[in-house]
A and B are shown apart, each in its own frame.
Chain A
Amino acid sequence: MKPAETISKYSSYILLAPGLIASFIGVIVPLAILAPISFYKYRFPEIIPEFTLENYLGYLFSAKTGTILLNTFGLSFMTCLLCFAVAYPIAYTLSFKIRSPRFKTYVVSLLMVPFLIDWSIRTVAWISVLGERGLINYFLTSTGISATPQKFLFSPIALIVIWLQTYTLFMMFPIYLAMQRINLDYIRAAQVLRAPPHRIQYEIVFKLSMPGILTGFIFVFVSTLGDFVTPSLWAGGIQTLGLSIAVFAGNYLWTQAAAMSTIMLAITLLALYILVKVGKIKKLVYER
């Protein structure tokens, strides 16, 4: 190896240091503290460092646990599917149907906006659309389709609509990146060989977008998993894992909140493993 290259390798590690230090202090250390606390005893207001499993057992054998887990995964997975159904055609349009790179950038920016609007405002904004005197009910009652206002808010529908608006971007972006990397020659070759369009779509576009699709699923999944604010406001009393953590923490039941967080962390690490092994997120970003 030439000396110049050696220097550039060392300097790479130095360049990585700020990010890794931030990740270490900001993520790894807090999580390393969180996990042991979930095994500690708790007598208000002290956390007693003695080993116990009661934080987990109390939770696992609670009658509500099954419903909570079902709600959490059901809602998150449903959101993932809907986000995919919306994001895939959009990513496809951006990648293959819009030619001008400048116009493409403007469309991407337009799609980014809602995610960047203030969190609280974005969620309360939906009252004006879904509320009893909101846009949809105004339309329904004034056209006579429905005599009385329908109740959309405070239901899983409201939650999924709001999540769809918020997180579709997380699905679209990785799929878009994956599609950007599809070699157009494959498609041309398939066309020359008279492949039917639906097979080109499936065998080339869909299969080669797979890393992006998986990454998108995981991004949306972990984001909805960790979002307790939207369910607390709009789900109409439906309990999710994230929401229960926030409720426990809000009531100073620290060790139980920690136990549930650790369960969520385990689920997330599993998702991360899938992301690394199957999704191959690095292929979207730096491996060509």
Chain B
Amino acid sequence: MLKFFVAAFIIFIYLPAFLVILLSFEQSSSIALPITGFTLDWYVKKPVGYESPAFVSLLYDYGFWDALVNSVRTSLVVAAFTAIIVTSSALALRHRVKGRDLLFYALLLGFIIPGVTLGLGSTFFYSILGMEYSFWSVVLINTVYTVPFGLILMMARFDPDLMEYEKAASALKANPMNVLRKITFPLIKWEIISATIFGFLLSWGELIRTQFMLKGLGTLSVFIYTQLSVYPLTPKWYAAGTLVSVIAFSALAILAFLLARGAR
């Protein structure tokens, strides 16, 4: 009974994604069921003369590809930062350091503060610095957003015996660097990899905060959002969604595989 409920919920959350993929092959230019015919036009058709961006196929929409490159760059850098910050913070927070709770909450702030508030505050901050719409402001606002997820995920999954192993190694006079290299990292490497992928995926889909930080093309999310607020919705955007989701799904499949591998 309960398992059916879980299955039903999974269907509910996947339904739109399946329809996006299905309707991206729709022949007519409206989002409507039933499907009238299959076509690949929204993906690869060469445009004839000028066409509104809503009708240019994905392959020939250069704005889309530029935004995709921006997204990949941003997400990769955010993922790297997330991995470093999450790993080092999680390792530190295992110890009963003074002010641990306060420090932990300080790290969660980027997620707790509503996106629109943080976005606006950051707009002011970077305009005072004269650094509006820079790549690094996007990276930073995404990193503070992804770190809390990674941190909670990683700390909750830490092997309870990890500290015992480290203590044993220290008692046997291993120096701290060696403990880190030979004991700690091998035992948490899957958690580090998961946190990295999680950081990539979260910043890949982030819109609310990023939207404040970018003008022009922005990342894919911002690009699609701005385009949709100007141009009509056609299956072209569903084609874009299919492509973008395939990338996210692949990353998630890797993540699932890794998590299952490390599952105890």
Contact = CB atoms under 8 A, between A and B. Distances in A.
Interface stretch (B42-50, B54-62, B233-241): B233-241
Given A122-B16, A125-B241, A11 B176 contact: yes
A245 interface: yes
B16 A26 contact: no
A121 B16 CA distance: 9
B255 interface: yes
Most buried by B among A13, A249, A257, A285: A285
Interface residues of A, number: 100
Interface string B223-264: 011001000010001101100110011001001100110011
Contacts of B114: 222-223, 225-227, 242, 264-265, 268
Q: Which one of B9, B19, B84, B147 has the highest number of Cβ atoms from chain A below 10 Å of its Cβ?
A: B9
B205 A119 contact: yes
B112 interface: yes
Contact of B3 (A97, A131, A219): A97
A192 B17 CA distance: 47
Interface string A269-284: 0011001100001101
A107 interface: yes
Contact of B9 (A28, A86, A121): A86
A124 interface: yes
Given A11-B176, A104-B263, A134-B33, A118 B117 contact: no
Residue of B13, B101, B248, B264 with most partner-chain A CB within 10 A: B13
Interface in B1-46: 2-3, 5-6, 9-10, 12-17, 19-20, 22-23, 30-34
Nearest to A101: B263
B106 A20 contact: yes
- Binding site of A, secondary structure by majority: helix, strand, loop or mixed? helix
A282 to B, nearest CB: 6
A104 B103 CA distance: 31
Nearest to B97: A12
Interface stretch (A2-10, A62-70, A195-203): A2-10
A154 interface: no
Contacts of B33: 128, 133-135, 138
Contacts of B70: none
A285 B155 contact: yes
A228 B116 contact: yes
Contact of B84 (A18, A20, A127, A272): A18
Interface in A102-149: 102, 104-122, 124-129, 131, 133-135, 138
Contacts of A8: 95, 176
Contact of B16 (A15, A29, A125, A227): A125
Give the interface centre of B103, B113, B208, B211 by most chain A CB atoms within 10 Å: B113
Interface of B: 2-3, 5-6, 9-10, 12-17, 19-20, 22-23, 30-34, 81, 84-86, 88-89, 91-95, 97-98, 100-101, 103-118, 120-125, 128, 140-141, 143-144, 147, 151-152, 155-156, 160, 170, 176, 201-202, 204-208, 211-212, 220-221, 224-225, 228, 233, 237-238, 240-241, 244-245, 248-249, 252, 255-256, 259-260, 263-264
24 contacts: A15-B91, A22-B140, A27-B118, A34-B121, A86-B9, A90-B9, A102-B263, A109-B252, A116-B201, A118-B205, A120-B221, A121-B237, A121-B241, A127-B233, A128-B23, A129-B15, A131-B31, A177-B156, A222-B114, A226-B116, A226-B118, A246-B116, A261-B120, A272-B105
